[in-house]
Amino acid sequence: MAEIWLPGWDRHLFNLRGKPYQYTRNPKGCLHTTEGGSIAGALAAYAPYPPHGIYDWRDRKKLQHIPLNLASYSAMDGNDDDYLVQIELVGFAAESRFWPDEAWRNIAEDVIKPLEDNFGIPRRALGFKDGRDGISPPLATEDSPIRLSWDELRDYSGWLGHQHLPAPDEHWDPGAVQIGKIFAYVGEPLEEDDMPMIIKKNDGSSPDCYVLTSTADGCWKRKISTQELDLLRACGAKVTEVNPWNVDNVPSNPAQSPTGKAVHNYGVPTVPGPNPPEYKPAHQVLATINQNTRPET
Ligand SMILES: [Zn+2]
């Protein structure tokens, strides 16, 4: 396969030149922070396990170590050969929440957009957290509730962080990366088909918003937090105000779909099987997503 090098990124090669992916669908981008202040320091530290690339938003310097058609090494926990591009962002996980808008804009232009274009990573993301979010058990443990399972990781496509990689991983970088702001800077809106339908009552009786999901038997709704709403809006989703009666009459339990065929939000395909998939928060990215397109193992 031809080697894939990002346009505009300088090449900096290590002895490790990449390894085969264990599967090649559901492309993901995994962000790390270097826990240091410079590219030079990071290169020395991670020479035994290089990522695909490293980026410093301060001077927009970008180095690629491994071509995108091969897996890189930074997670070091058995996930490295999942179909994910790993990028180290210069800086500290505990500080990323406070990076300036310049950081998000530069990351959008220099990292996110090129990887959408060259690796097919869709513009969706898991929520990025840090200690201020009060997650328990803590983020820096293998029991952190935001970690995906192995199956969920394989079934997910989009952006995530080292903090989402399955146990026994216990890293929590890159912290609270403001992915909604990044997506807003990427600019071009998503395809209409990928956009979740968000509804709220048009009589002002409640500020609650819901993602509306189609099923084989109709619709169900899921109330979303303001944080998720902000993220979806940053991706270009619009809130449609509808008659309160319509909101109230959409069931909120997908199990009410008699055929058990639910379609989850984010434009994923119909899930086959006799039982309705169990509801989970969107950030946990359902193990059932894309199950009907799961590669053979
Ligand atoms: Zn990491």
266 falls in which pLDDT band (50, 70, 90)?
very low
Q: Distances in Å between the alpha carbon of 235 and those of 128, 180, 197? A: 15, 7, 12
| Fold entry, domain 10-185 | Lysozyme-like (3.40.80)
155: helix, strand or coil: helix
Find the 161 Cα to ligand 1 centroid distance in Å.
8
Find the 5 Cα to ligand 1 centroid distance in Å.
22
Assigned token pair, 20:
């085969």
Q: Which of 97, 168, 170 is nearest to 131 (CA)?
A: 97
| pLDDT of 21 strictly over 60 | yes
Find the 174 Cα to ligand 1 centroid distance in Å.
7
Find the 75 Cα to ligand 1 centroid distance in Å.
6
pLDDT, residue 219, reads: 65
Q: Where in the chain is the domain with CATH 3.40.80.10?
A: 10-185
pLDDT, tens digit, 9 for 90 and up, residues 139-167: 999 999 999 999 889 888 899 999 999 99
| pLDDT of 56 strictly over 50 | yes
Q: What percent of the chain has pLDDT over 70?
A: 79
Find the 160 Cα to ligand 1 centroid distance in Å.
11
Stronger pLDDT, 231 or 56, i.e. the higher one: 56
| pLDDT of 74 strictly over 80 | yes
Name all contacts of 204-211 with Cβ < 8 Å and 24+ positions apart: 205/244, 209/239, 210/247, 210/250, 210/252, 211/265, 211/282
Q: Which of 196, 208, 200 is nearest to 232 (CA)?
A: 196
Q: Which of 29, 44, 120, 43 is nearest to 75 (CA)?
A: 29
Find the 43 Cα to ligand 1 centroid distance in Å.
14
Find the 185 Cα to ligand 1 centroid distance in Å.
24
Assigned token pair, 256:
């009410």
Stronger pLDDT, 235 or 95, i.e. the higher one: 95
Find the 105 Cα to ligand 1 centroid distance in Å.
22
| pLDDT of 31 strictly over 90 | yes
Find the 14 Cα to ligand 1 centroid distance in Å.
18
| pLDDT of 261 strictly over 70 | no
Assigned token pair, 54:
């490293």
Find the 129 Cα to ligand 1 centroid distance in Å.
14
Find the 36 Cα to ligand 1 centroid distance in Å.
12
Stronger pLDDT, 241 or 69, i.e. the higher one: 69
CA distance 62 to 257: 49
Assigned token pair, 219:
């619709």
